[in-house]
Amino acid sequence: MAGWLLKVSSVATAVVASSGFYLYNNKQLDPNDISLVRFGRAAATTAVISYDYMTSLKHVEYGSEEYWALKSQVHRRSAERLRNLCCANRGTFIKVGQHLGALDYLLPEEYTSTLKVLHSRAPQSTMEEIQQVIREDLGKELSDLFISFNEKPQGAASLAQVHKAVLHDGRTVAVKVQHPKVQTQSSKDIVVMEVLLNMVHWLFPDFAFMWLVEEAKRNMPVELDFLNEGRNAEKVAAMLAHFPWLKVPKIHWDLSTRRILTMDFAEGGQVNDRDYMRRHSINVNEISQNLGKMYSEMIFVHGFVHCDPHPGNVLVRRCPNTKKTEIVLLDHGLYQILLPDFRLNYCRLWQSLIKGDLNGIERYSRRLGAGDLYPLFACVLTARSWTSVNAGIGNTPVTHSEDVEIRSNAALYLPQISDLLNRVPRQMLLLLKTNDLLRGIETTLQTRAASSSFINMSRCCTRAVARHKRSTAQSRARRLQITMSESLTLWQISLYELFLWVKGSTLGGWVGSLLSCLHYTH
């Protein structure tokens, strides 16, 4: 088998080399435009990674210290090869690599830490390419549309890049322009990934990551339609209009197409930039709490979820007029619409997880497709140990040792995790990615142990379940009873929140000291 992989690697390398020689003599062609070159790179990388895993661990005793140290080295080498492949093939490969880099508690740390850099290693299109896309889609030259247009992009992502520009009426806008070759390459790239992942699964049966290709097939066409992104932005802005601290840039439809999206320009620092927050006197706890409110509302109440909250898409700032802290939500290309039954089962599962209701955890995990793997599902969903899940994650603080335990178990249970991800509904996959990205932000802000996130979840779950019960109630008396029960529960949650605030305040410290003194004197 190793010999066969070596042959595949040699053939793939020969394909890339011969294609490179041909392209050297035909300078008008870009190697990235040739499907054979892109496939050759991917096949060669896959073969080398597979060969490394098959041979490096062959003569080492499983479970020994040497085995785990060597396996970590293989993980690191393989992750670097995968990162280099994504940077070379760009486009869809970078998008999938970014997705993998966000799966902190599903993949070994060597992979996630190595692939995370892809958020800052996205390709840039040339100014000539940007002008050509604008010319083709809007039918005008840059000078006809804008007073000024910054040639250096504000940011470059896997599918597009954003330029700052000024309209003729003086308004400053952000112009998101799609990389010109992404549309034609994406469908071919997904086929390449599907073939190679099937090959890896045949060699390593425990490796079952076909869900990744299925997600790319489903989501890529949606993300490449910028008009859909504009509609999503307007929908979420209207849906969450009751949050005055949330800002979604206004879309300029007359300057937007499937490949171009023009919106109001938004200043701010990335949500994980603690130095920026310190310089601008922005309270990290307030930001973390508001982020939790926003996503709890999206997931549990509305079932319309922004699924790409990596730090570059969530900005924080002080409003120049009101001086209040605001969150700016960007990049609305990828949203998940949760089916009502799925959303309600998900609500009830989180209520059970917060309280430590093991019967509820099993019942609703099974309803969400986890089957007998429900304990693993609970741990993956919360990134907490089974011990913490048993006690109720709302009652047990996060510790560093628990995080280390979770990471170690992720490597040990990779086959079972792969099986679980192939079982659960497709809607769950983007929610898991969203959870991991939000947890990463909380970890950076050092607010992950805060109880506010569970309080927000509890409120939204209570409202969502009550609304569902009211919609199915047969009488006015029953609806009134549900509303009163909802109000009582929300009041209890607010009372508990007040208790936590007093406990953590200066007043709470004084009261605690006074009670200690009284106890000591008696």
Q: For the chain, 522 residues long, give each residue's pLDDT as a single digit of tens.
A: 445 444 445 544 544 445 454 444 444 456 666 777 888 888 888 888 888 888 888 888 887 888 888 988 988 999 899 989 888 888 888 888 887 877 765 677 888 888 887 876 677 889 999 999 999 999 999 999 999 999 999 888 888 999 999 999 999 999 999 998 888 788 788 888 888 887 777 777 766 666 777 777 888 888 899 999 999 999 999 999 999 999 999 999 999 999 999 999 998 999 888 899 999 999 888 888 888 889 989 999 999 999 888 888 899 999 878 889 999 999 999 898 999 999 999 998 988 888 888 999 999 999 999 999 999 998 888 888 888 888 887 777 777 777 777 777 766 777 788 788 878 888 887 788 788 777 778 777 776 655 556 777 788 888 888 888 888 888 888 889 888 888 888 787 777 667 666 665 555 555 556 555 555 555
Which residue carries 């007093």 as its tokens?
A: 502
Instruction: List, in sequence order, the alpha helices (H) in 90-180.
Output: 92-101, 109-115, 127-138, 142-145
Could you please state the CATH topology (level 3) that the domain comprising 127-179+225-337 is classified under: Transferase(Phosphotransferase); domain 1 (1.10.510)
In this structure, the dihedral spanned by the alpha carbons of residues 290, 296, 299 and 304, taken in order and rounded to 10 degrees, is -30
Assess contact for 406 and 384: CB atoms under 8 A.
yes
Written as six digits, the tokens of 452 are 């506010």
Beta strands in 113-251 (DSSP E): 146-149, 155-156, 160-167, 172-178, 246-247
436 has catalytic annotation: no
Residue 143 tokens, joined: 């000078």
Whole-angstrom Cα Rg for the chain? 25
Pair 334, 223: CB distance under 8 Å:
yes
Secondary structure (3-state) at 115: helix
Distances (CA, A) of 495 to 424, 445, 485, 498: 36, 26, 15, 5
Whole-prediction pTM value? Answer: 0.79
Q: Which are the contacts of 318, defined by CB distance < 8 A and separation ≥ 6? A: 280, 281, 282, 324, 325, 326
Q: Please pick, among 308, 331, 357, 403, the residue that the annotation labels catalytic.
A: 308
For the chain, domain boundaries: 27-121+195-204, 127-179+225-337, 340-502
Q: How many CA atoms lie within 13 A of 58 on its CB side?
A: 9
Q: Helices 340-355 & 452-472, crossing angle to 10 degrees?
A: 140
